[in-house]
Structure 1
Amino acid sequence: MPIKKSAANFTTQSRIVLPGSQKPSFIQPAVEKPVPPARQITVSVVVKCKTPLKAANRLGKERLTRVQFRQSHGPDPNALKLVRAFAKEYGLTPVAGTPIPGSCILKLTGTIANMQRAFGTTLVHKTNEAATYRIREGSITLPSELSGKIEAVLGLDNRPQAQPHFRIAHGSSTPLGQGGGFATPQVRAQADISYTPVQVAQLYQFPANASGAGQTIGILELGGGYRAADLTAYFKTLGQPAPNVTAVSVDGAKNSPSTADSADGEVMLDIEVAAAVAPGANIAVYFAPNTDQGFLDGLDTAIHDTTNKPSVISISWGSAEANWTQQAMTALDSACQSAAALGISITVAAGDNGSSDGGTGNNVDFPSSSPHVLACGGTTLTGSGSTISSEVVWNEQASNEGATGGGVSNVFPLPSWQANSNVPAPSNSAGGRGVPDVCGDADPATGYTVRVDGQTMVIGGTSAVAPLWAGLIAVANQQNGKAAGFLQPQIYAAKAKSGFRDITSGNNGSFSAGPGWDACTGLGSPITSTLIPLLAAGTTSGKKPSKPKPTKKKSTKKPKR
């Protein structure tokens, strides 16, 4: 057989470049040292899957059960055998239990020396003021027989990949219904206001009797942690029981709370917002390292988690598209496609640095630019009770307090469901996907009152909007008795207009709000009472019946809800 013949000659084959693996130079001033050759590391190898998902699967129109997904879209067995043989020849060891069921990620462990030989790259340590990172530059190469069998190799380089998209209010805050606030020396000229997540949900007309019971909200975190005592104390002030929160360790990362000015602010904001607006839902927090490998492994773990089974996953971390390798973006987008096929929704923060996303010119943040996630932009919200008095694009850049991300992807083409949205032309012909899809309160000046490491703070950022929408989807799933899954096709349909408050005032730098979809606030903020029934309408397909009760053997051949 071909595979057996090649099992001992990978080292003699000509080598090819792994497409999309080009890694930029480490531009920060740093001291360079060789990495000890005997040091062991683990990499994640994305192996070719059996068959690509059909468009109907990627759009969530034809959902697959986990069994169906594994049978058709797990790793190609021949590719997997070939990669294992390659690993053996180069002294790399497959990690037991990988790929996990449904996943195409094979993890390999080995020494730095063997990794460099296997993947045709040089690894060095570069130390700057902040830390020491293992760096690779340029492209990965593979033996020619592996062409098309490996789609990505992540983990050789461990420099930080993403930033959390939260901002602590830098002013004198007057939380509504809470005594006290949070202030820093950089005080704004006028007092800010803030809301509890429950008050934001009331303004957006979340149904009072819905809790998201029976749902699990997954939250991906690349740093920080939470303390159970803080959650108990915080939810007591809301008059709610503390949520059931499970920490899931990915690639050795753990729930590691430290101080209030760390990534703990992100973790606590995400949990407190999601759990407060969907108080009956369980919360599973997936802690992964802040690397491209950690990002993919964390998301992949959440999608294929058959213990916690999240029906919606919230991501508040990201970085401008230009900061990612193409192989990492392709692998993450592929994971998001898998989620859509399985009926899992993914909400992602669109970024906090306006239309530039912190770079030169116009940029959008990834993974919010993936066409298979719900990209969440930000507004400045004022109101009381269930009445919104004003909602405009969040743009506080004049006071150095950020602005909603938004714009047009240079990587992902215009999706079919955005075809009639008047998305501006991309600056790169390969792009076209408009960001964001939806929005919600994000301005730290009208932010969320939360508790972080024993302190009451007001925090904003599009980081708050992703868990807000995740909570909304969990509530919708409970109300509708079925998972919303990939919901863009139904929310972009003309009949869904009544489910959104159209934001028509403000800009995020290069883009201005206006009637209909725009590159600041997407379709608008939710009118949840109207939106929830619309989400139910989009979850059926011609191939499977919409049965409220799972039952008899007859239905087992058809995809379940």
Structure 2
Amino acid sequence: MSTSKPATSAADWHLPVGAHYLGPHDPNETLNVTLVLRRKNPLAALGPSPSRSARHADFEARYGADPADMERVRAFGRQHGLQELACEPGRRTLHLSGTAQALQQAFGVQLGHYELTPGGTPYVGPAQAPVLPDPAVIAVLGLDRRPVAKPHFRIAKAKPATTYTPLQVGQLYNFPAGTDGTGQTIAIIELGGGYTQADLDTYFSGLGLATPSVTAVSVDSGSNQPGGSADAEVMLDIEVAGALAPAAKLVVYFAGNTDQGFYNAISQAAHNNSLPCTVMSISWGGPESSWSTASRNAMETALQDAATLDVTVTVAAGDDGSSDGIKGSTPHVDFPASSPSVLACGGTKLLASGSTISSEVVWNETTADEGATGGGVSTVFALPSWQSASKVPAASNGFVGRGVPDVAGDADPVTGYDVRVDGQNETVGGTSAVAPLWAALVARLNQKLGRSLGAANAALYGVASTAFHDITQGNNGSYKAAKGWDACTGLGSPNGQALLSALQATSSSPAPTPAPAPTPAPSPAPGHKHKGGSHSPPASSGKHPKGKSPT
């Protein structure tokens, strides 16, 4: 028997840079996996529905998994001795459980233990891409348990001279008067960390606000577990969104930091009929090129589901400039911010004189090791029609791709947000603050418009000339700010009241059709290929005064 590992396609699979093989995984240990299936029909816009529950039912009937597809895949699981944990045709998911040995035989992989850095936390992963058991299966998630994302927040290294409460930022951005998010639900996706009720009560009381409604939802093995470094992310998201949309309900989905956890959190939030959201905020992501093709495409289908169900998804664009933290001169963008189904949120440095913006430039504090806004051009997702007039440059390999970000807001920790984390007052920045900022603004716009913006990009690009503060100074490394859209701050930061007026004037326009699923290139883009790390697995046997109320 050959002891070499099976050949794999570099286009479909790569180990993370620096991944080091530690040894085989216990063949008797039980693992859970999620199979994501194709839709029964090509995705298109849904018509008006009398209620959210009716809209979800209509979506499932049209775009859920085909019953014949689902039954074949369920039979495959039984054939390999895998236990069915749940079957959700509307979400197109089948959740299975089995021993590592059974899963290796079913999906043609070798599971081993790896570490990304010497002495780092080990994770379980396969040495090759899983073999998809049926044409109906898009991806098998959960065999690869590497961390797929990191939170995009930056804690200021020293107390800055200028800080803001979220209310003050909302005032500077002219959030529409007479709105507070009433009737809206904001889903917040977290891949670690947690919050305490005592911290929330103390923080919102200090702003002169009642603590908003916050519900924690466990996804798979994730849960609200305060006490770690990711708490700053969770608290920042809740405190920014809750301060700026205090009457909205906040539902925080806690999942594990894996492709399986990330997908299931987004999918569950989008399809949750008992807690239906109108906005979703995501402050986690990883370089687009670091994702496996199948995992990234599965994620995109979940984001498309959300957009079709009239959920606006706001996503942080990253805090490591145009490189997205990858060494070398080639620019990279962050995913899921690079998805055409989301509103990608970049960062600025915001200075004010009283209640007026005096200066706003691209966030770039790399010389002081305080981060810089992500932004650039996708090498996976094609240029969307609503960006066709934005003069998005070609990607480094010549690909005509989706430009990132779409919008921006204050993110520089040097002009950061006053928040409370684990009993301490902190100044925090990062594009992680911009995603919940825009989520709160969308909730308030929805409230006043009497409808959900849903896939908002086409509408926002259509009114960009009158509703945004155009950022024209600064750079994020490879890209410079310019008049109009740019790959640092997108269309710019919001003028909330002007944005509302512009959207009201175009409220009779039809909703945009969601973008089709991407067709990945047959091979990695030049300069974007990750080489596998070292491994040798054996053959498998199978200062402003605090505000008191939102404007």
- TM category, shorter: 0.7 to 0.9
SS at match of 2:431: coil
Tell me the CA shift for residue 20 of structure 1. Answer: 9.2
Q: Which residue of 96, 120, 138 corresponds with 1:130?
A: 120
Identify which of 54, 72, 79 aligns with 1:82.
72
Report the 3-state secondary structure (helix = DSSP H, G, I; strand = E; otherwise coil) of the residue aligned with 1:370.
coil
Work out the CA distance in 2 between the residues paired with 1:140 and 1:377: 34
Structure-2 residue corresponding to 1:47? 37
Determine the C-alpha separation between the residues in 1 that align with 2:95 and 2:496.
Answer: 42
1:333 aligns with 2:300: yes
Sort the Cα spacing of 1:327 and 1:474 in 2 relative to 1 into closer, same or farther, 3 A.
same
Quick one: distance in 2 between partners of 1:334 and 1:388?
39
Cα displacement (A) at 1:301:
0.5
**Structure 2 counterpart of 1:212, from 166, 181, 194:** 181
Q: Counterparts of 1:116 and 1:25 in 2: how far apart (Å)?
A: 17
Alignment RMSD: 2.2
Using the size of structure 1 for normalisation, the TM-score is: 0.85
What's 2:523 paired with? none
Q: Does the 8 A contact of 1:18 with 1:152 survive in 2? A: no
Further displaced range: 263-272 or 323-332: 323-332
Distance across 2 between alignment mates of 1:159 and 1:540: 46
Deviation, structure 1 residue 393: 0.3
1:8 alignment partner in structure 2: none
Give 1:246's aligned residue: 215
Residue 406 (structure 2) pairs with residue 416 (structure 1) = no
- CA 1:325–1:31 in 2, change beyond 3 Å: closer, same or farther? closer
Aligned ranges for residues 99-178 of structure 1 at < 5 Å?
A: 99=88, 102-127=90-115, 128-143=118-133, 146=134, 148-173=135-160
Name the aligned partner's letter for residue 262 of structure 2: F
Contact 1:18–1:142 (CA<8 Å) still a contact in 2? no
Quick one: structure 1 residues 91 and 397, their matched pair in 2 at CA, closer, same or farther if it must change by over 3 Å? same
Name the counterpart of 2:191: 222
Cα distance in 2 for partners of 1:489, 1:17 equals 43
Deviations 1:497-519 (A, max 9, x none): 11101000000011100110000
Shift >4 Å, 4+ stretches: 16-21, 536-544
Bigger shift: residues 29-38 or 108-117: 29-38
Give, in whole Å, the separation in 1 of the partners of 2:39 and 2:390.
Answer: 33
Quote how far apart the aligned CAs of 1:52 are.
1.5
The aligned residue for residue 529 of structure 2 is none
Which of 282, 287, 300 is 2:254 aligned to?
287
Per-residue deviation, 1:385:
4.0
The offset of 1:25, in angstroms, is 2.3
- Residues 278, 474 of structure 1: 8 Å contact kept: yes
Aligned-partner Cα distance in 1 for 2:10–2:245: 40
Match of 1:309 among 256, 266, 276: 276
Contact 1:22/1:138, CA 8 A, preserved across alignment: no
SS of the equivalent of 1:351 reads coil
Q: Distance in 2 between matches of 1:516 and 1:25?
A: 39
Give, in whole Å, the separation in 2 of the partners of 1:501 and 1:527: 7
Instruction: Describe how 1:444-459 pairs up with structure 2 within 5 A.
Output: 444-459=413-428
* Residue 244 (structure 2) pairs with residue 277 (structure 1): yes
1:142 shift after superposition: 3.9
Counterpart of 1:118 in 2: which secondary structure? helix
SS at match of 1:465: helix
Seen in structure 2, the aligned counterparts of structure 1 residues 543 and 333 have a Cα distance that, compared at 3 Å, is closer
- Give the Cα separation in 2 of the matches to 1:429 and 1:414: 12
Amino acid at match of 2:83: T
- Asked if the contact 1:21–1:140 (Cα under 8 Å) also holds between the matched residues in 2, the reply is no
Displacement of 1:223:
0.3
TM superposition shift of 1:431? 4.8
Give the superposition deviation at 1:430: 4.9
* 1:201 and 2:170 correspond: yes
Unaligned runs of 5+ in 2: 1-5, 513-551
Q: Retained in 1: the 8 A contact 2:176–2:500? A: no
Q: Check the 8 A contact 1:403/1:508 in 2, yes or no.
A: yes
Identity of aligned residues (%): 52
Structure 1: gaps of 5 or more residues: 1-15, 174-191, 545-561
Distance in 2, matches of 1:31 and 1:336, equals 33
CA distance in 2, matches of 1:103, 1:401: 39
Deviation at 1:29? 6.1
Given the alignment of the two structures, is residue 364 of structure 1 paired with residue 352 of structure 2, yes or no? no
Alignment equivalent of 2:81, drawn from 66, 75, 91:
91
Q: 2:231 maps to what in 1? A: 264
Which TM-score applies when normalising by structure 2? 0.87
* Cα deviation, residue 427, structure 1: 2.6
8 Å Cα contact 2:177-2:497 kept in structure 1? no
Aligned to 1:488: 457
Name the stretch that deviates more: 394-403 or 333-342. Answer: 333-342
Count of matched residue positions in the alignment of Structure 1 and Structure 2: 499
Cα distance in structure 2, aligned partners of 1:29 and 1:207: 48
Q: Which amino acid aligns with 1:460?
A: G
Asked if structure 1 preserves the Cα contact closer than 8 Å seen for 2:176 and 2:445, the reply is no
Mapped pair 1:323 → 2:290: yes
Do the aligned partners of 1:216 and 1:310 also contact (CA within 8 Å) in 2?
Answer: yes
Q: Which has the higher relative contact order, 1 or 2, with Cα contacts under 8 A spaced 6 or more apart?
A: 2
Distance in 2, Cα, partners of 1:35 & 1:515: 54
**2:501 maps to 1:533:** yes
Matched AA of 1:289: G
Per-residue Cα deviation, 1:391-428 (whole angstroms, up to 9, x for no partner): 00000001011100001000000000000000001234
The separation in 1 between residues aligned to 2:271 and 2:504, in whole angstroms, is: 24
The worse-fitting range, judged by mean Cα deviation, of 212-221 and 334-343 is 334-343
Residues 37 and 213 of structure 1: CA distance in aligned 2, closer, same or farther (over 3 Å): same
- Determine the C-alpha separation between the residues in 2 that align with 1:428 and 1:244: 47
Q: Counterpart of 2:475 in 1: which secondary structure?
A: coil
